[in-house]
């Protein structure tokens, strides 16, 4: 009884609140400043000159920004769908089977992009794709789709696997007892119950692909500009609040999708 009364409580430790609040400020204050100065009436990045939507209007009428944003959405959608399909297949294969030798290794390999520094993955993909380009002469968007799909798979895999592991096998067993073949059991029993995990996995993969800079910058060919790489190029040249406006527009769908993932996972 005494032990339970004196259980360790992290929140009650001295300085916890200060550290937690400082971390939140350090994370979100720069983003808040970026968003605020997207509405700056002047071209200054550090001196407030009044409220204005001019930079959003200019960004909206900038063909380079619009084309980069559309290409980013296309790339994120295709890579997100492919990554989610592969992650779903992998999660089912690894949760709906008996334990086998090398299962832990398989799990580690699927999650490898989460562990390896992104620059290492980017250089590795660059070397491989350079060899393929040299051999085939192809330099289309397929390389970017493959690259984004590869590093998005673990992000889609984690919520899908978690959903599968939390599902009761009773209904699947009942479907098998009622002579449903594996495909029908999956289509009518497993898939509907797995849908929230699949949606969450796709949203995470979509956001990760949409925001990526390092891998995209190294793998892309000429004319294949995404919104993050366009913004990086503008920062290297002549940065104006137009970049802030573009970053704010990129930030909004990311926040909405991550919030939706959180709400879906919390509800289910």
What domains appear along the chain, each with residue ranges and CATH number? 53-267 (1.10.3720.10)
Mean pLDDT of the chain: 83
pLDDT digits (tens, 9 = 90+) for 14-70: 777 888 889 999 988 988 888 888 888 888 777 788 888 888 888 888 888 889 888
Please report the sign of the dihedral spanned by the C-alpha atoms of residue 179, residue 181, residue 186, residue 187: negative
Which pLDDT does position 6 carry in this prediction? 59
Which segments of the chain does DSSP mark as H helices, in order? Answer: 2-5, 16-37, 54-60, 63-95, 103-110, 112-115, 118-136, 142-165, 170-177, 182-185, 191-211, 214-219, 227-236, 241-267
CB 59 within 8 A of CB 249: yes
Among the listed residues 97, 100, 62, 78, the one whose alpha carbon sits nearest the alpha carbon of residue 148 = 78
CA–CA dist 96, 169 (Å, integer)? 10
- Residue appearing with tokens 């509800």: 267
Among the listed residues 191, 198, 186, the one whose alpha carbon sits nearest the alpha carbon of residue 160 = 198
pTM: 0.78
206 vs 99, residue with greater confidence: 206
Count other Cβ atoms within 10 Å, centred on residue 93. Answer: 10
Could you give the C-alpha distances from 261 to 152, 177, 207, 236, 258, in angstroms and in order? 15, 34, 11, 34, 5
pLDDT digits (tens, 9 = 90+) for 211-244: 889 999 888 887 788 888 888 887 777 777 888 8
Q: For residue 5, name the pLDDT band (cuts at 50, 70, 90).
A: low
Which pLDDT does position 1 carry in this prediction? 46
Burial class (CB in 10 A: 0-12, 13-18, 19+), 4: exposed
CA–CA dist 166, 161 (Å, integer)? 9
CB 215 within 8 A of CB 148: yes
CA–CA dist 231, 34 (Å, integer)? 13
CA–CA dist 219, 217 (Å, integer)? 6
């Amino acid at each position: 009884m005494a032990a339970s009364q004196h259980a360790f409580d992290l929140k009650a430790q001295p300085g916890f609140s200060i550290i937690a609040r400082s971390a939140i400020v350090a994370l979100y204050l720069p983003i808040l400043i970026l968003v605020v100065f997207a509405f700056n009436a002047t071209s200054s990045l550090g001196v407030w000159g009044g409220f204005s939507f001019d930079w959003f209007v200019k960004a909206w009428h900038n063909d380079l920004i619009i084309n980069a944003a559309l290409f980013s959405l296309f790339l994120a959608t295709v890579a997100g769908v492919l990554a989610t399909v592969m992650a779903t297949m992998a999660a089912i294969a690894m949760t709906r089977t008996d334990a086998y030798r090398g299962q832990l290794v398989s799990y580690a390999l699927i999650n490898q992009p989460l562990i390896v520094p992104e620059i290492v993955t980017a250089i590795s993909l660059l070397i491989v794709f350079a060899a393929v380009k040299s051999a085939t002469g192809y330099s289309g968007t397929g390389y970017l789709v493959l690259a984004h799909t590869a590093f998005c798979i673990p992000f889609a895999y984690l919520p899908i696997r978690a959903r599968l592991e939390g599902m009761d096998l009773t209904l699947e067993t009942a479907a098998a007892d009622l002579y449903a073949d594996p495909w029908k059991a999956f289509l009518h029993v497993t898939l509907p119950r797995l849908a929230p995990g699949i949606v969450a996995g796709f949203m995470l993969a979509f956001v990760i692909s949409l925001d990526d800079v390092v891998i995209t910058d190294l793998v892309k060919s000429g004319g294949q500009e995404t919104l993050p790489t366009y913004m990086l190029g503008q920062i290297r040249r002549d940065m104006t609040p137009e970049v802030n406006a573009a970053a704010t527009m990129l930030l909004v769908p990311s926040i909405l999708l991550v919030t939706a993932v959180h709400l879906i996972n919390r509800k289910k």
